[in-house]
């Protein structure tokens, strides 16, 4: 069988694996979970190095020899700066290139300027012969080195750098930490080194030129080893470049964050054989492609030309040889998202291997090419582009301007090219004039590409991309023409039908309603450092978009001002609208992201911004209606935390501490399911107590979505399974699965937060995973499930008194004692074997007796200090004797109460139109806010009824006080004209006036006469007819009191007149009456 591990006795450090470069480390990089590291800390007998800057251990005498490239060593030194040495201590903080000029023997998992003294972190080490760890290493190394089936580990040395910071870190830089591990393993003949990378958040100390706030730049870390003989050395690809931060995302064994090397002197005889499968690294990429994807597995002989094939697009992909068992490929743009199938042909004999690859949406990609002053990119102007120079290993690169087209099929086509030579390529910046060739197109993007070849001439072309940007002209008239053309096309299409959803009224509500909305990738508070953040909605501080739902292809944008209030596009051009497409929609003639950008974003920009024409924007809003919050209903929150204290979706609080797998939430059809696993709680010493906590959660929408399982581990990290298989995620990352999205955020050392969002229903599940338990928050916003749920979180019908309904349908009073609720309600929702979602079975203790009451006299002396006045915390502290667990209950309960407060329904009055020939000033739309109106010169204020309409106040019922205002032209009362004071309701003002005129005339002419030419009064200064706010009535208009009042007050402010016809056809009488 073929080894999955690379040979290590190269004469030069060759690049082996591609790196996914994350510019400026915008996300925190994570690989091997803590639970997958070899265990460490004082519990396992580890020793600590001194917490001294550039310090390390004294000489460690080994109990047996370790062979390192033909030399046997019995001593070694552990250095805080991320290295191990054998002959003597090395305290140099600046990493050196390999081979080392000093001929030192060095093992360097991450050689950089670590500072445990001033910034923090711990360095643990131990020599071990413990059989459990030896067995684990044996299994691991046998799986990586297929020819080492007889290998049996007999000795190990484990070094762990835990949460170490970098020298010179300041402010937010002090929070950036790295955790990694070096494991030396040996039997009587062979030696191996394993590098495990849990998280890498910085690369460089300040004395090595690194940025004090980020720990990036300068002379980054070295990673690899050096035998000290000038021939056996190796640097992992990206070492001593900015790309070393991605060690958690790369591997030579197909496991992200793990690198394994054989380092004895018996490696030349290693033979390569075929294996059964392949591993893609990374296993995902965005729609544009361009990044290198390594295919590892079967032997890759240089005499062959390896090829990959994309099944869904029928596309062949050229790859280049990298090592004995690895090739690198670059995939082209793929205009779809989701899983695709990659076939692999290493020997030009057929597609013998396959693997799945995930295509992610362009909307969420990291931009490697950055457009400076992106709002000023106009055709014919000079523009500037910059990038991280370490991304470009080539001496020259090609910069292309491409446009998007979907005339026959989706494609990106080049309209402008420039060759970037050494200086510009390495400087990372280029100025050029945006070509007129773009004038006939609408959507463009920048691409920088370069060639990489192998020793046998195989060529690949990696590339990096900018964001997409609208084609914009200097003359605003071009945008007017573009908008008019789009409006004409819109007339041929069906109107938007799914516009019933409503935005949260406040940003506070929006941030909590994660089951229905998420931050707009184009404008959000987490992206303030981006030059392109909010450029399309410049008056907004944060925008959200409705979560993708499989039942509709439409989308919705809600934007908020600096005060957290919803913006209305009718008052502010940065307001949001309903969209024809969601950026994740795909299907017949719908391309993810591109359909959304061309049919929603571009029309908004040209019609409402670039045209500089308010009428264009009003016309746009007829096709893309403004988003409002008038019908917004907040989601219902529920929780299950601590020794489980539950709050149902209808607000009932109770405690239930049964042991088993339970149905937390399930719809009456049994399709939407959340299940939880309750196990015995433990005190700090690990002794089980008569209390329970949740240790696992499972969710699915049967026959529609993937199944997601989340398990708590002793290290406090979440272990995630998707459809029963381990699913790896970075500590800050998002995975888009089948009709469900998982987000992970482990920026907190003690809590691993997992967010599960359904794309089938409006539901989110937030999990706070710690070493003791899982606390659960459920947000239900699916109105169709009102009264149609069951389980431990109630039936969601708005009435908390009937939430305790057992599986058999019997109802238990919500005020029943805890033991009654436990046995007659809670335990009935134990999961049956046939309906269990969990892939792993649970161990139920033989004896367990739940505690239902706690005597105040038995409380610990420190109870008030830990719990304050929180009763749930006090209960947990007493029954678990675990102060950390109890404290987490307190924190979670306070957080839940804050959430309940944040999502409470608020009163907002609706949009007020600006009167024609007038203006307005609105202080806000909250209760008590006011709106002031005034008319332009030569126009007089006119109220629909009553005498007051200059100022209106938002009332507690969500309506505006006083009357609607109209601005009518003043009449010169000196002219002798017949005046007819008439008013009309808003529902049909002009029609009612006509009816009144007809009635008046018919009173004098009831007989039919020949119709002469109609002669209208030639009097000038005709009053535009006001549109009165007349409430609808089932009776005659002349019995409508509001209408009568309007007639009475029409003369207020001076006389008005309307034209009087000289002739009215009597047939009109029959037509109207």
Q: What is the pLDDT of residue 87?
A: 86
CA 363 – CA 584 distance, rounded (Å):
9
1071 pLDDT higher than 60:
no
Q: What is the pLDDT of residue 964?
A: 85
Band of residue 60 on the pLDDT scale cut at 50, 70, 90? very high
State residue 413 phi and psi, 5-degree precision.
-125, 140
Hey, is 822 helix, strand or coil? helix
What proportion of the chain, given as a percentage, has pLDDT over 90? 62
Q: What is the pLDDT of residue 101?
A: 79
652 pLDDT higher than 80:
yes
CA 327 – CA 317 distance, rounded (Å):
12
CA 134 – CA 821 distance, rounded (Å):
49
Q: Which stretch of 464-473, 921-930, 1002-1011 has the lowest confidence by average pLDDT?
A: 1002-1011
Band of residue 350 on the pLDDT scale cut at 50, 70, 90? confident
Residue 1017 has which token pair?
A: 């009064």
Task: Write the CB contacts of 577 (distance below 8 Å, at least 6 apart in sequence).
Answer: 557, 569, 600, 604, 621, 624, 625, 626, 627
Whether residue 411 contacts residue 405, with contact meaning beta carbons closer than 8 Å, is answered with: yes
Sign of the CA dihedral running 471, 477, 480, 481: negative
State residue 199 phi and psi, 5-degree precision.
-150, 140
For each of the domains in the chain, give its residue range(s) and CATH number, in order of start: 29-262 (no CATH), 279-362 (2.60.40.10), 366-470 (2.60.40), 476-623 (no CATH), 636-898 (no CATH), 907-967 (2.10.70.10), 971-1073 (no CATH)
Q: What is the mean pLDDT of the chain?
A: 85
The Cα-based distances of 356 to 315, 843, 1010 in angstroms read: 15, 34, 83
The DSSP secondary-structure symbol of 821 reads H
Of residues 733, 385, 732, the one with CA closest to residue 531:
385
Whether residue 262 contacts residue 192, with contact meaning beta carbons closer than 8 Å, is answered with: yes
Q: What is the pLDDT of residue 1003?
A: 43
Residue 287 has which token pair?
A: 């729609």
Q: What is the pLDDT of residue 661?
A: 96
**pLDDT per position as a tens digit, 127-150:** 999 999 999 999 899 888 766 778
The Cα-based distances of 595 to 157, 580, 602, 607 in angstroms read: 56, 9, 10, 17
Helix axes 871-880, 883-902, angle to 10 degrees: 160
Mean of the pLDDT values across residues 797-826?
A: 94
Sign of the CA dihedral running 1036, 1039, 1041, 1043: positive
CA 671 – CA 682 distance, rounded (Å):
34
Residue 998 has which token pair?
A: 């007809």
**pLDDT per position as a tens digit, 545-572:** 999 988 888 999 999 999 999 999 999 9
Hey, is 399 helix, strand or coil? strand
CA 765 – CA 780 distance, rounded (Å):
9
Task: Write the CB contacts of 25 (distance below 8 Å, at least 6 apart in sequence).
Answer: 201, 202, 214, 216, 245
Strand boundaries in 624-671, DSSP class E: 636-641, 645-647, 653-655, 660-667
CA 239 – CA 248 distance, rounded (Å):
13
**pLDDT per position as a tens digit, 414-427:** 999 988 876 666 67
CA 46 – CA 273 distance, rounded (Å):
39
Tally helices (H) and strands (E) across the chain.
Answer: 14, 55
Of residues 795, 927, 888, 904, the one with CA closest to residue 513:
904
Band of residue 888 on the pLDDT scale cut at 50, 70, 90? very high
Q: What is the pLDDT of residue 1025?
A: 46
Burial of 728 (0-12, 13-18, 19+ CB in 10 A): middle
Mean of the pLDDT values across residues 487-510?
A: 88
Q: What is the pLDDT of residue 125?
A: 97
Band of residue 30 on the pLDDT scale cut at 50, 70, 90? low
What is the gyration radius of the CA atoms in the chain, in angstroms?
35
Hey, is 718 helix, strand or coil? strand
Residue 759 has which token pair?
A: 């794309």
Hey, is 285 helix, strand or coil? strand
Ranges of H-type helices in 911-1016: 989-1002
Among the ranges 155-169, 252-266, 950-964, which has the highest mean pLDDT value? 155-169
State residue 429 phi and psi, 5-degree precision.
-155, 145
434 pLDDT higher than 80:
yes
174 pLDDT higher than 90:
yes
694 pLDDT higher than 60:
yes
Of residues 989, 978, 979, 996, the one with CA closest to residue 1068:
996
Q: Which stretch of 250-264, 383-397, 712-726, 869-883 has the lowest confidence by average pLDDT?
A: 383-397
The DSSP secondary-structure symbol of 860 reads -
Band of residue 760 on the pLDDT scale cut at 50, 70, 90? very high
Band of residue 470 on the pLDDT scale cut at 50, 70, 90? very high
**pLDDT per position as a tens digit, 608-645:** 999 999 999 999 999 999 999 999 999 999 999 999 99
């Amino acid at each position: 069988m073929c080894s999955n591990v690379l040979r290590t006795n190269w004469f030069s450090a060759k690049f082996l694996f591609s790196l996914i470069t994350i510019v400026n480390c915008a996300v925190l990089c994570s690989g091997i979970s803590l639970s997958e590291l070899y265990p460490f800390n004082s519990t396992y007998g580890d020793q600590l190095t001194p917490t001294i800057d550039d310090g390390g251990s004294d000489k460690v005498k080994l109990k047996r020899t370790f062979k390192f490239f033909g030399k046997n060593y019995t001593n070694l030194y552990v250095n805080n700066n991320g290295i191990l040495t054998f002959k003597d201590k090395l305290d140099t903080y600046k990493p050196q290139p390999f081979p080392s000029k000093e001929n030192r023997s060095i093992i360097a998992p991450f050689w950089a300027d670590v500072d445990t003294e001033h910034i923090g972190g711990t360095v643990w080490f131990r020599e071990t012969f413990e059989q459990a760890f030896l067995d684990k290493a044996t299994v691991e190394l046998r799986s990586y080195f297929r020819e080492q089936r007889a290998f049996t580990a007999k000795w190990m040395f484990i070094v762990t750098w835990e949460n170490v910071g970098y020298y010179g870190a300041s402010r937010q830089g002090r929070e950036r930490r790295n955790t990694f591990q070096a494991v030396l393993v040996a039997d009587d003949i062979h030696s191996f080194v394993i590098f495990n990378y849990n998280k890498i958040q910085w690369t460089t100390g300040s004395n090595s030129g690194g940025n004090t706030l980020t720990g990036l730049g300068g002379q980054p870390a070295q990673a690899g080893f050096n035998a000290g003989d000038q021939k056996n050395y190796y640097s992992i690809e990206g070492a001593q470049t900015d790309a070393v931060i991605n060690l958690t995302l790369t591997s030579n064994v197909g496991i992200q964050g793990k690198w394994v090397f054989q380092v004895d002197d018996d490696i030349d005889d290693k033979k390569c054989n075929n294996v059964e499968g392949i591993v893609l690294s990374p296993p995902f990429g965005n729609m544009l492609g361009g990044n290198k994807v390594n295919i590892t597995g079967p032997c890759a002989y240089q005499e062959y030309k390896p090829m990959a094939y994309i099944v869904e697009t029928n596309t062949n992909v050229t790859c280049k040889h990298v090592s004995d068992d690895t090739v690198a490929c670059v995939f082209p743009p793929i205009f779809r998202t989701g899983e695709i199938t990659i076939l692999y042909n290493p020997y030009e004999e057929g597609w013998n291997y396959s693997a799945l690859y995930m295509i992610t949406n362009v909307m969420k990609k990291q931009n490697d090419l950055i457009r400076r002053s992106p709002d000023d990119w106009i055709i014919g102007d000079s523009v500037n582009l910059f990038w991280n120079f370490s991304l470009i290993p080539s001496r020259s690169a090609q910069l292309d301007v491409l446009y998007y087209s979907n005339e026959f099929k989706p494609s990106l086509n080049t309209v402008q090219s420039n060759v970037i030579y050494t200086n510009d390529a390495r400087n990372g910046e280029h100025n050029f004039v945006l070509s007129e060739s773009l004038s006939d197109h609408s959507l463009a993007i920048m691409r920088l590409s370069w060639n990489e070849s192998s020793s046998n001439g195989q060529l690949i072309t990696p590339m990096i991309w900018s964001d997409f940007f609208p084609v914009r002209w200097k003359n605003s008239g071009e945008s007017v023409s573009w908008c008019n053309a789009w409006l004409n096309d819109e007339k041929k299409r069906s109107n938007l039908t799914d516009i019933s959803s409503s935005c949260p009224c406040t940003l506070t509500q929006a941030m909590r309603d994660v089951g229905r909305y998420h931050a707009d990738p184009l404008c959000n508070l987490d992206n303030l450092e981006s030059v392109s953040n909010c450029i399309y909605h410049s008056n907004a501080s944060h925008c959200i978009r409705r979560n993708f739902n499989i039942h509709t292809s439409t989308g919705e944008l809600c934007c908020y001002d600096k005060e957290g209030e919803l913006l209305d596009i009718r008052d502010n051009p940065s307001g949001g609208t309903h969209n024809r497409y969601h950026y994740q929609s795909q299907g017949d003639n719908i391309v993810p992201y591109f359909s959304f950008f061309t049919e929603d974003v571009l029309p908004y920009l040209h019609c409402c911004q670039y045209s500089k024409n308010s009428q264009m924007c009003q016309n746009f809003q007829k096709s893309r209606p403004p988003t409002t919050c008038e019908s917004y209903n907040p989601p219902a929150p529920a929780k299950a935390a601590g020794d489980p204290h539950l709050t149902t979706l209808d607000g009932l609080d109770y405690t239930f501490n049964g042991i088993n797998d339970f149905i937390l939430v399930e719809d009456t059809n049994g399709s939407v399911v959340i299940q939880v696993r309750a196990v015995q709680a433990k005190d700090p010493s690990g002794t089980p107590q008569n209390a329970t906590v949740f240790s696992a959660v499972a969710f699915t929408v049967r026959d529609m979505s993937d199944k997601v399982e989340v398990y708590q581990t002793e290290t406090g990290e979440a272990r995630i399974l998707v459809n029963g298989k381990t699913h790896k995620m970075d500590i800050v990352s998002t995975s888009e699965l089948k009709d469900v999205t998982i987000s992970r955020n482990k920026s907190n050392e003690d809590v691993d937060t997992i967010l599960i969002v359904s794309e089938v229903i409006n539901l989110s599940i937030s999990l706070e995973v710690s070493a003791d338990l899982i606390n659960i928050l459920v947000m239900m916003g699916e109105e169709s499930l009102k009264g149609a749920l069951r389980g431990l979180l109630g039936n969601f019908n708005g009435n908390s008194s009937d939430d305790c309904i057992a599986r058999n349908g019997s109802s238990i009073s919500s005020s029943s004692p805890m033991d009654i609720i436990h046995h007659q309600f809670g335990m009935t929702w134990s999961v049956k074997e046939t309906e269990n979602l969990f892939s792993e079975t649970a161990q139920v203790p033989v004896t367990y007796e739940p505690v239902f009451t706690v005597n105040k006299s038995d409380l610990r002396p420190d109870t008030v200090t830990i719990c304050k006045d929180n009763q749930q915390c006090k209960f947990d502290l007493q029954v678990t004797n675990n102060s950390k667990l109890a404290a987490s209950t307190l924190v979670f309960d306070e957080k839940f109460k804050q959430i309940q407060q944040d999502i409470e329904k608020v009163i907002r009055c609706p949009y007020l139109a600006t009167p024609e020939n007038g203006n307005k000033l609105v202080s806000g739309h909250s209760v008590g806010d006011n709106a002031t109106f005034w008319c332009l010169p030569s126009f007089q204020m006119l109220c629909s009824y009553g005498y007051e309409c200059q100022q209106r106040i938002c009332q507690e019922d969500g309506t505006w006080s006083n009357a609607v205002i109209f601005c009518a032209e003043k009449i010169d009362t000196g002219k002798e004209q017949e005046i007819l004071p008439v008013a009309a309701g808003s529902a049909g003002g002009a029609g009612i006036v006509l009816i009144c005129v007809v009635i008046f005339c018919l009173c004098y002419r009831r007989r039919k006469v020949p119709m002469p030419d109609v002669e209208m009064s030639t009097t000038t200064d005709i009053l535009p007819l006001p549109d009165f706010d007349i409430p609808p009535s089932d009776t005659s208009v002349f019995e409508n009191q509001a209408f009568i009042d309007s007639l009475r007050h029409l003369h207020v402010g001076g006389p008005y007149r309307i034209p009087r016809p000289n002739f009215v056809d009597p047939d009109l009488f029959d037509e109207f009456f």
